[in-house]
Structures are given as C-alpha cells and as structure tokens.
Chain A
C-alpha cells in the first residue's frame, strides 16, 4: 500500500466521520415540518371556525344593534314630541300664572280698597254710635225733665182744682143765687183736643235676621202691621234677652235698636210684641 493510499484512507475516514456526525446532528435536531404543518392546519381550521362564529356573532350583534337603534330612534322621536308638548304646557302654565298673578294683584288692590272702605265705615259707625249715645243721654235727660214738668204740672193742676173748689164753696156761701161759675182755668174745647192714639197693641211675631251691634233687623215689616216705635221682646229659651224699639220699617222687614239688653241677641231668635 502506497503512502498516498494511506493518506487518502485517513482523510476519507476523517471526512466521513465528520460528515456523518454533522448529518446525524442536523437530522436529530431538525424540525418536524409535517407535524408543524398539521398543527398549523388544525389551528387554521379552528381559527376559521372561530372567525365564522365571530362573524355570526357580529351579524347577530349588528341586527340587534339595528333593532336597538330603530327602537331608540322611535323613543327619541316620542320623547321629542313629549318634550315639545311639555314645553307648550309649560308656556301655557306660565301664561296662566301671569294672568293669575295679575288677578291676584288686582284682588289685593281691591281688598286694600275694601279694607279702607271698611275702616271708614267702622269710623263712621263709631261716630254714629257716639252720636246715638249722646242722643240717648239727651233723651233720658229730656224724659227726666218732662217727668219733672209733668209732676209739677199735675201739682199745679191739683192746686188749681183746690183753689177752684175753694172759690166755688166761697161763692156758694156768699153770693146770691144765679151767679154763674167760671173756673179759674178754662177748660179747652173738647173738639180741639187731639187724642193721641197709642200704638195698637197687636200680637206680632217674627225672627231676627241680622244683628250688627245694637242694630237688629227683623223678618216682619209694614205688610205685617209693624210701625215705628213698636217694641218687640226677644225671648230665648223662656228667658228675656232684650227689647227692640223699631226705628225703620220696610215692606217685608224692619230694623230697630236694642234696649234693656240682658244678653246679646242672635240671628234666629224669636221676637214678639206680646209676652
């Protein structure tokens, strides 16, 4: 065997061992493309299925969203209509509020005027009552004077009658027969005497319809025979309340002032001219 053959054998051995080692290493560590391809194919199929499912879900969501959108559009339209209606109602309410405010203001003004009027009427009523009290006091004083005058007049008349009797007796004793007697105070002619008729005491019965202080209105009037100056007695539960002297008479009603007030008369109390 030549030296060159030996060298070639050694080189071939080394190269072959190196090449075999490389091949074994490469093949041992090579990737299995088939299984990777199949896995990738499976993953692709699964992903396609998943994509199809997602697309179906998207379609369903789209349909649901369209339904919701149409429903919400309808709701928005109805709410807009309701809003416009409410705005119109609000404007109407504001207009009515303004009108009511004006009415309230006018009523307040009228109430103020009415209060002023009532105040004036109360003032005039107070003044009238004071004048009435003064007139009553004056009437009482005049009545007292009249009674005194009447008493003194009766006394004078009695004295005159006594003087007349004495004169008649003296004339009868000292004068001859046929002398006529003439009284000291000639009597007035009977035809000239006016007989003042007292109010006829007729039985009238009525009811109190209004009470304003001492002024009382009754339910009977001129048509029932009521005249000025009549006195009605107010009785409640068999007890005396007061008297009413009539001062104004109308056809169907009359009014008078209270007297001898025991308790304040009320509307509905029975009045009568007799006990």
Chain B
C-alpha cells in the first residue's frame, strides 16, 4: 500500500483524474442512451433493425 492507500480504505490517488474518468463515463453513458433512444423511436427495437426492415 502506498500513495494514498491505507489499510482497510481505498483512497483515490488524485481527485482530478477521478473526476475526469467520471465525466468520460457519463459521456459514454449519455451517448449509449441517446443511441438506444433513437433506435427505439425509429425502429422499435435495439438489436433487430435489419429484421424489422426486412
């Protein structure tokens, strides 16, 4: 355990990089949700778009 790790408790090495990773995770989630919403609204399904069109 070194650099911010103490016994029995996980501690972030830097809050800046943690916030950056959280922001990135939020952006990816928003993107996935937006894509899923468009797919549902346009085609009514998420994974069978080709079958629906066929």
Q: Which residue of A lies closest to B44 (CB)?
A: A34
Nearest CB of B to A218, in Å: 133
With A32-B42, A34-B43, A35-B42 known to touch, is A20 a contact of B27 (CB < 8 Å)? Answer: yes
Q: Hey, which chain A residues are within 8 Å of B42, CB to CB? A: 32-35
Whether a CB of chain B sits under 8 angstroms from the CB of A6 is yes
Residues of B10-54 at the interface with A, using a CB-CB cut-off of 8 Å, are 13-14, 17, 20-21, 23-24, 27-28, 30-31, 34-35, 38, 42-43, 52-53
Interface size class of A (residues with CB under 8 A): 20 to 34
- In-complex Cβ contact of B21 among A13, A30, A35 (8 A): A13
Contact A12 B24 (CB under 8 A): yes
B-side interface mostly: helix
Q: Give the tally of cross-chain contacts (CB within 8 A).
A: 48
Could you tell me how many residues of chain B have their Cβ less than 8 Å away from some Cβ of chain A? 19
Contacts of B13 in A (CB 8 A): 1
CB pair A20–B28 under 8 Å, yes or no, is: yes
Pairwise interchain contact B17-A1, C-beta atoms closer than 8 A? yes
Write the chain B residue with the least CB distance to A32: B42
CB of A20 within 8 A of CB of B31, answer yes
| A9 adjacent to chain B (CB < 8 Å) | yes
A19 to B35 alpha-carbon distance, docked (Å): 13
Closest residue of chain B to A10 (Cβ to Cβ) is B20
Q: A6 touching B17 by the CB < 8 A rule? A: yes
Q: How far is the CA of A24 from the CA of B30 in the complex (A)?
A: 9
Complex Cα spacing A150 to B32, Å = 179
8 A-B contact pairs sorted by A residue (CB < 8 Å):
A1-B13, A6-B14, A9-B21, A17-B24, A19-B31, A20-B30, A24-B31, A27-B35
